[in-house]
Structure 1
Amino acid sequence: MPNELENLIFATLDRIVGRVLGSRPTTIDGEQLDETVYSHLKQGILIDPVTYRDPWVPGGTTVDLTAPGAVPEMNRSRYAAWRTAELTNDMLMVTTDGSYRPYRSGRHLDAQYEAILTQMQPAPPPPVNPEVRQRVDEATRLLHVLDEQGDIVDDTPLYRRYQDKAQAYAEARAEFAEEQLRAQADPARLAIWPQLSIPLKAKVDRAYDAWKTSGAAKVEAALATIKAEGRPITEAMVASARNEFDKWSLVLSGVELITPYTYVEPAGWCDPTRTDIGWTRLKISSAEANGHVASGSSSFARSYSTSHSSSTSVGGQVGYAFLFVGGDYGTAESESTWGSTASKDSSYEFRNDGSDFSLELEWALCRVQRRWLRTDLFAMQNWYLPGQKKHCISDGTIASQSLNERPMMPMIPMDFLVIRNVRIHSKKWGSDGRVLSSMYDSSKGDYRASSTSYGGGGGVSLGFITFGGRVSHARSDASAQYEAEHRSTDSSDWGWRFEDGTLEIRGAQIVGWVSSMTPPCPPMDDPTLAADR
């Protein structure tokens, strides 16, 4: 029979997930604009704020390069950008029961998208109007020298002269602007600027006249004719998408590894102290939770519990009460080491016998932004993948692709659900209060010590809320150096504690992902498949 603590976590999960799924954009008739899948983690991934805060941005850095420690801070910011990209790069399998199921092969979104982008083949375009073709050919011969096959090998003297004159005009303008800035910084020069500017302005005018009288009208008319011809929209979009993917693929990790740049909004999502970025506060009591569970209404938590009770049950429940977990958080393996009310050495055992609880937490749905990923490609017509049949990427449906590893990219993770700063209070914790007090006393003074003081290297799961284990920061030589230089020894902003009947779990943790289904694509078979048959 569920106890009050289980009911509390059950109802909390329902409140949050119901709000998340109910806030998806719809048409005026109430239909969702895109099909979505929510993937719920059995235990939250604890997030180290040092690892992800203030990542590098392509537009430049906010780091004061003249300040002491600027170089290590720049390295840390690039590392944060790389870790953000890695955190959001795992693909998930489609499920119908809310399960979080990574691919067994460890499929990654950037690699899968690049493979699709490289193979995309637009269908042959329709014939071009002969009159348009003739105008384009004439314009091309005016601008370029062609070989016997019609390929461009050089520019014509007319076009080279046009480009040289255009460059000279641009340099004259730049010289004028530079001298004007110098005058504005020098009161003496500024006073005589009207006289100083006369020869500079004359130089700009001469360069302009030379440019425009060197056949510019013919050249620009030819350029306009070629641009106006256009390209088949599918071919143009594929070429544009490939160009964007290349531009956004950067070296962020410190080694010769290209990583597509990805960022998360809001930018301060990992910082448990930020209060100005739209976190939603939830407060619920045992009385409310008991009433919610007793109502028997359809809910995410109920269906999730039913579908998982056979594999993760403890006393017939899916695990909405205290459980010990083994392994590090933030890995696929940790999903399989879940589900005991006692630690491995039996020093601590939870009985979940408390009552009269109240729970407070903050949550937010964070959007993953990938400028390198053009999802509108998948809605195009008239393209295929060589050697593949249509809908090999996705057939657009949830039911037929659930737990199916054959589709190349059936859905794309777009948002992740974060909770933070959890507080659970009661004056009637029962025996669990003594267990928590003992655990906290043994780990006090070092948030990492608790990972070895109980559970044999893991921590505690209270439903989907986790605490007391290792945080998500995979170690490497580079990360070890960055974190050693920048980690604060003050854990007051994150970690956990149990005092005066209140279990406080600071910091952020990811508890679920929202993915958008990829529309049916490609829209056609490879034409050679029919010929082969």
Structure 2
Amino acid sequence: MSLDERIALTLYDRIFQVISGADPNSGMPSAFESDKTMFVLAQRGMVLNAADYRNPWSPGNTDGSIQAAFNIASLVDEIPAMNHMYSPTGRSVSDVYSKMVRMVNVTEPPPPPEVQRRRDELKKVLVERVKDDEGRDVERPTALADKEQQAFNNYQDAYMAYVGQWAAAQADPNLKKVWPVVGAQALQRPKRAFADWGAAGRDEVAAVKGELATQNRSQVARAFADAQFRLLAYELVNELQETFFRTTISPSDWAGADASTWPQFTFSESTLKSDFSAEATSWGASAQVSVGLWSFGGGVSSSDSRVSMSGDTTDVSLSFRWRICPVYRKWMDGTLFKLPNWDVGTMTGAGGIAGGPDPLMPLIPQALVIVRDVRVSANWSHQDSEHIDSAISGSASVGYGPFAVSGNYSHSSTSDKFGAQRTGQGFVIPDIQVLGFVCTKVDPCPPK
């Protein structure tokens, strides 16, 4: 296997291990449900202009930018195909979901009054309806639900940072030797976060959600009616009169945070893997990493041409700061996908949203994998030095594995360009870029 392939597939597997794996000795639950999660990695990252996403408008920040709120919603709205390599379908989560909710036909008799009353009682634990500044009825989480969600966010962040440290230690013989001591110290943060999550109402909220899911199976019409109200409550319009649904990414300062606090990923040729997961192999085949790490032209899911690194390039090492940033759509009710006795008329048939051939929404992005301060160094050959010079000039769109080295900013209304910076040993890419998405596999629906 070529060096190009080993670098690319090692990178996929290390990130995948943090997302789906867990330290078996930690005793802590994983941050994501591995059986319902797929990691899709771009052929080339999407570099973002951080200024486009800072200070978004929210009910608690009415002086914030509506356009930034729109940009965040748009960034995570594209539906990927069911593939380990990121390939947008051209459809959006908000469009498919909102049409599903608004076009639904429910085919079941109304439930008994006592069932309706119990469902209403359970909902009051999680959400409340209030008036906004304009006097409109809106829905928001109760103080308990909001506190529990924030505590879960903190645990999710702490646990993923810990697993990142654990995965790095397993790949480095020197770090692995001291991990029993270092790991015990590192585990204290997620343990405290897990305890805080419990104190914030974890078990109570889980019990309510579990019973509510059962009640919803006999109150499908009410569940969809509530979903329609929730859509309206989170609907916004930007300066260009474009409608969107307010979506948030955690942590709130992800676009402007001090990256020195982020976990660091580092590897060199000596720590590259030689055997890989089926997921990494699938991604590598779609991304054509066997053809080479250097890519020219194209974008996140294709390139015009690819070139292998020269055999004269040696001692390649790579490092970056990275985070996995969860996405929250309070306007979406994911339990609807599991409910019986509904269809969407002419929109699509059974399994047409998920589960059938060519579904409209097989995956929903639930977290961003973002990196900053990507540094690549080596003893470069003359040929590879020329590739770096081409990227530094900014005159071409260039990628190195899943990293964008130069080109135009993604999801930007401007035509501004970015480019790597030369270092004595290679190059550095300081900008934030999205390498891929952690996605939830949507339950098969509509039901048969």
TM-score range, shorter-chain basis? 0.5 to 0.7
For 1:234, the equivalent position in structure 2 comes to: 220
Q: Is residue 374 of structure 1 aligned with residue 298 of structure 2? A: no
Q: Which residue, out of 393, 396, 400, partners 2:353?
A: 393
1:267-306 superposed Cα distances (whole Å, 9 cap, x missing partner): 2223363444xx32111121111xx22xx3545433433x
Change (3 A) 1:2 1:261: same
Amino acid at match of 1:56: W
Verify the 8 A CA contact 1:92 1:101 in the aligned structure 2. yes
Q: 1 CA distance for matches of 2:259 and 2:267? A: 23
Q: Which residue, out of 294, 300, 309, partners 1:322?
A: 294
For 2:134, the equivalent position in structure 1 comes to: none
Q: Is residue 267 of structure 1 aligned with residue 252 of structure 2? A: yes
Q: 2 CA distance for matches of 1:522 and 1:438? A: 52
Change (3 A) 1:8 1:519: closer
Tell me how far 1:85 sits from its aligned partner: 1.0
1:449-473 superposed Cα distances (whole Å, 9 cap, x missing partner): x332xx3xx2x21111111212124
Q: Which residue, out of 459, 462, 468, partners 2:400?
A: 462
Verify the 8 A CA contact 2:48 2:432 in the aligned structure 1. yes
Q: 1 CA distance for matches of 2:95 and 2:330? A: 15
Q: Which residue, out of 420, 442, 446, partners 2:372?
A: 420
Tell me how far 1:368 sits from its aligned partner: 1.3
Q: 2 CA distance for matches of 1:360 and 1:33? A: 26
Corresponding pairs, count: 344
TM-score (norm 1): 0.57
Tell me how far 1:27 sits from its aligned partner: 11
Q: 2 CA distance for matches of 1:437 and 1:521? A: 48
> Can you give the 5+ residue segments of structure 1 that lack an aligned partner in the other structure?
64-73, 133-229, 343-349, 396-400, 444-449, 484-490, 525-533
Q: 2 CA distance for matches of 1:274 and 1:27? A: 26
Tell me how far 1:495 sits from its aligned partner: 4.7
For 2:302, the equivalent position in structure 1 comes to: 336
Change (3 A) 1:117 1:432: same
Structural mapping, 1:103-114, within 5 Å: 103=89, 106-114=90-98
Three-state SS of the structure 1 residue aligned to 2:11 is: helix
Q: Who wins on radius of gyration, i.e. which is larger?
A: 1
Three-state SS of the structure 1 residue aligned to 2:16 is: helix
Q: 2 CA distance for matches of 1:6 and 1:374? A: 40
Q: Which residue, out of 67, 71, 78, partners 1:83?
A: 71
Change (3 A) 1:116 1:298: closer
Q: 1 CA distance for matches of 2:442 and 2:388? A: 48
Change (3 A) 1:410 1:430: closer
Three-state SS of the structure 1 residue aligned to 2:315 is: coil
Tell me how far 1:114 sits from its aligned partner: 1.1
Structural mapping, 1:98-497, within 5 Å: 98-103=84-89, 106-125=90-109, 233-252=219-238, 254-271=239-256, 273-276=258-261, 279-289=262-272, 292-293=273-274, 296-298=275-277, 300-305=279-284, 307-308=285-286, 312=288, 317-319=290-292, 321-323=293-295, 325-327=296-298, 329=299, 335-341=301-307, 351=310, 353-386=312-345, 389-395=349-355, 401=356, 404-405=357-358, 407-426=359-378, 428-432=379-383, 434-435=385-386, 438-439=389-390, 450-452=393-395, 455=396, 458=397, 460-475=398-413, 495-497=419-421
Tell me how far 1:509 sits from its aligned partner: 0.9
Tell me how far 1:352 sits from its aligned partner: 5.5
For 2:44, the equivalent position in structure 1 comes to: 43
Tell me how far 1:430 sits from its aligned partner: 2.5
Q: 1 CA distance for matches of 2:389 and 2:38? A: 40
Q: 2 CA distance for matches of 1:326 and 1:379? A: 42
> Can you give the 5+ residue segments of structure 2 that lack an aligned partner in the other structure?
116-215
Q: 1 CA distance for matches of 2:28 and 2:265? A: 28
Q: Is residue 505 of structure 1 aligned with residue 429 of structure 2? A: yes
Q: 2 CA distance for matches of 1:438 and 1:466? A: 14
For 1:7, the equivalent position in structure 2 comes to: 6
Q: 1 CA distance for matches of 2:385 and 2:111? A: 81
Q: 1 CA distance for matches of 2:70 and 2:315? A: 44
Change (3 A) 1:261 1:420: same
Verify the 8 A CA contact 1:18 1:300 in the aligned structure 2. no
Three-state SS of the structure 2 residue aligned to 1:520 is: coil
Tell me how far 1:112 sits from its aligned partner: 0.8
Amino acid at match of 1:240: D
Q: 2 CA distance for matches of 1:20 and 1:368? A: 14
Tell me how far 1:54 sits from its aligned partner: 2.0
Tell me how far 1:437 sits from its aligned partner: 6.6
Three-state SS of the structure 1 residue aligned to 2:80 is: coil
Change (3 A) 1:128 1:248: closer
1:6-53 superposed Cα distances (whole Å, 9 cap, x missing partner): 5334323321222223259x9999x94752222221101111111112
1:369-395 superposed Cα distances (whole Å, 9 cap, x missing partner): 111111111222333333565433323
